[in-house]
Amino acid sequence: MTEPVLRIQNLSISYTVGAGTFQAVSDVTLDIYPGRVVGIVGETGCGKSTLAQAIPRLMPEPPGSIGAGRIMFRGTDLVKVPKSKMPMVRGTGIGMIFQEPLNSLNPAYRVFDQIVESIQIRHFRDLGLVKSFQGGDKPFDYSKRPTTSVGSALTKGIVPDGAAEQAVKERIRTKSDYRKEVLDYLRLVRINDPETIIDLYPHELSGGMRQRIMIAMALSEKPSLLIADEPTSALDVTIQAQVLTLMKDLIDEVDASILFISHDLGVIAETADEIGVMYAGRIIEYGPVDEVFRSPRHPYTKMLLAAAPRIYKADGSLRSIPGNVPNLSRPPPGCRFHPRCPIAKPICKVDPPPLAPVPPSDPALAPDAHKSACYFPEEVPGLP
């Protein structure tokens, strides 16, 4: 089996607000393999955005802090990387698309200036002109860096063998080269009139257009992992569909693993290969999308699916899950879903159930492909 691009192990994140501590993410373990799209779904406040922002360590620290666990990216534990060195990691293999396209672009700079920055950072790092993340045990050991810098190539160029000069020429880029590259990325995100759009300011663009620019910006870093944190949630339904179609096309075109965060089950169903359902900071069910949607093995997933509005449902009434999302400063003991769960038993109130494999409904799947954090997964199909 290939190595996962990102391996999150037992990650716990808490926020300290005043005297209280909110356990936003508890004991989350997640592997993302190359080329896979992992969807994380859950209600507002279940910790999915915190999880997404914790990977490139973008959440504000303090008040946020990582209590335990590891975030292994390219052989390096990002939790142990000092905060001052995180800029070298960001943009190197991790791209991110944010929830609010309206505010995620800097109002003072043109589209070109914003995208070219990402390209330049990648370019400079590739050339070895700036210190950057290497991965592995010693992620910031610059001595092992290959000497491909423009400077060293120039000094070699004193010896007239021609090859070094050629290498330099290929590496030095002018503004028009950069412009061409930015235009390519704008075309990649299906912008019809890139020559005009490239010189506009964010306030002159529509929400959908801005989100396309954000996607182009993330892709221009050539990420091996793309984190999409609710990329369509803030958009109109029609624009949402367009951006989603674009995302689906790009998933096939771009050579990246994707962590797709959304509260919308439909969006996850359309995009993801695997789905993790989060509830109150924990992943309570995990498995291939079709498998989880067809035969959910956690009462919360089952009820969440039942609550999703469907236009063709026989009775017109909307279903909801009784009760409220628990307060994460005082989460209920045991299984966090037990106060709202119709099949809760005494043991559910004592010990939190582990995320354990359940027999998949599709015999073609691996026996550990589908996991559920419920003591009684066999009772779930019987729920209404």
Partner 1 sequence: MGRSPSDLIIFVLKRLVQLIPVLFGVIVLTFFFTHLDAGNICNAWYPHAGAATIKNCEATANQPILTQFYQYFINLLQGNWGASVTGVLVYPYIAAAVPATLELVLAALFIMIFIGIPLGVIAAQYSGRLGDHLVRIFYLSGWATPTYLGAVIAAVFVGPYLGLPNHGEYSTLAPPFHQYTHMSVLDALIAGNLPYTIDAISHLILPAAVLAFINMGIATRMTRASMLEVLPLDYVRSARMKGLTEFWVMYKHALRNALITTTTVLGVTAGGLLAGTVVVEEVFDWPGIGQYAYTAIGGGGSTPNYAGAVAVVIIFAVAVVVANLIADILYGVLDPRVDWR
Q: Which of 38, 214, 235, 259 binds partner 1 (CB under 8 A)?
A: 214
Amino acid making up residue 255? D
Helices marked H in 13-93: 48-54, 86-89
Contacting residue, 16, 44, 103, 245, with partner 1 by CB under 8 A: 103
Q: Does 18 bind partner 1 (CB under 8 A)?
A: no
Pick from 107, 309, 316, 363: which binds partner 1 (CB under 8 A)? 107
Q: Which stretch binds partner 1 (CB under 8 A): 41-49, 116-124, 154-162, 326-334?
A: 116-124
Distances from the Cα of 295 to the Cα of 42, 168, 298, 302, 311, angstroms: 17, 57, 9, 8, 21
108 binds partner 1 (CB under 8 A): yes
Cβ proximity to partner 1: between 83 and 144 the closer is 83
Q: State whether the Cα torsion 205-210-216-218 is positive or negative.
A: positive
Residue 91 binds partner 1, judged by CB under 8 A: yes
- Our finding on whether 201 is near partner 1 (CB under 8 A) is yes
Give the integer Cα–Cα distance in Å for 226 and 32: 11
Helix locations, 198-296, DSSP H: 207-219, 237-253, 265-271, 289-294
User: In terms of CB distance, is 44 or 106 closer to partner 1?
Assistant: 106
Contact segment (CB under 8 A) with partner 1 among 83-91, 239-247, 327-335, 360-368 equals 83-91
CA angle 85-223-175, nearest 5°?
Answer: 85
Q: Which stretch binds partner 1 (CB under 8 A): 2-10, 65-73, 90-98, 257-265?
A: 90-98
Q: Residues near 207 by Cβ (< 8 Å), separated by ≥ 6?
A: 101, 102, 234, 235, 236, 239
Alpha carbon of 189 to those of 55, 218, 244, 249: distances in Å?
25, 11, 11, 9
Q: Which stretch binds partner 1 (CB under 8 A): 11-19, 92-100, 268-276, 340-348?
A: 92-100
Length of the chain equals 384
**Site membership for partner 1, residue 25 (CB under 8 A):** no
| Site membership for partner 1, residue 92 (CB under 8 A) | yes
Q: Which of 15, 22, 73, 98 binds partner 1 (CB under 8 A)?
A: 98
Beta partners for 17?
20
Give min distance, CB of 189 to partner 1, in A: 16
Neighbours of 159 (CB within 10 A): 9
Q: How far is the CB of 159 from partner 1 (least distance, A)?
A: 34
176-181: long-range pairs with CB below 8 Å, 24+: 178/116, 178/119, 178/120, 179/112, 179/116, 181/116, 181/119, 181/220
Give the number of other CB atoms < 10 A from CB of residue 350. Answer: 11
Single residue of 7, 70, 90, 156 touching partner 1 by CB under 8 A: 90
Q: Which region among 63-71, 99-107, 342-350, 360-368 touches partner 1 (by CB under 8 A)?
A: 99-107
At what angle are helices 207-219 and 237-253 packed, to 10 degrees?
20
Pairing status of strand 257-262 against strand 225-229: parallel
**Which residues from 160-179 bind partner 1, rule CB under 8 A?**
none
Return all residues near 244 (Cβ < 8 A) that are at least 6 apart.
Answer: 232, 267, 270, 271
Of 6-14, 80-88, 286-294, 347-355, which segment contacts partner 1 by CB under 8 A? 80-88
205 is an interface residue for partner 1 by CB under 8 A: no
Residue 242 CB, nearest distance to partner 1 (Å)? 21
Q: How far is CA 379 from the centre of its chain?
A: 32
Candidates 29-37, 115-123, 291-299, 314-322; binding stretch for partner 1 (CB under 8 A): 115-123
Residue 230 CB, shortest distance to partner 1, in Å, is 12
222 binds partner 1 (CB under 8 A): no
Based on the shown chain and the rule CB under 8 A, indicate whether residue 204 belongs to the binding site for partner 1: yes
* Type of residue numbered 297: R
- Site of interaction with partner 1 (CB under 8 A): 56, 58, 84, 87-92, 95-96, 98, 100, 103-110, 117-118, 121, 125, 201, 203-204, 214, 217-218, 221
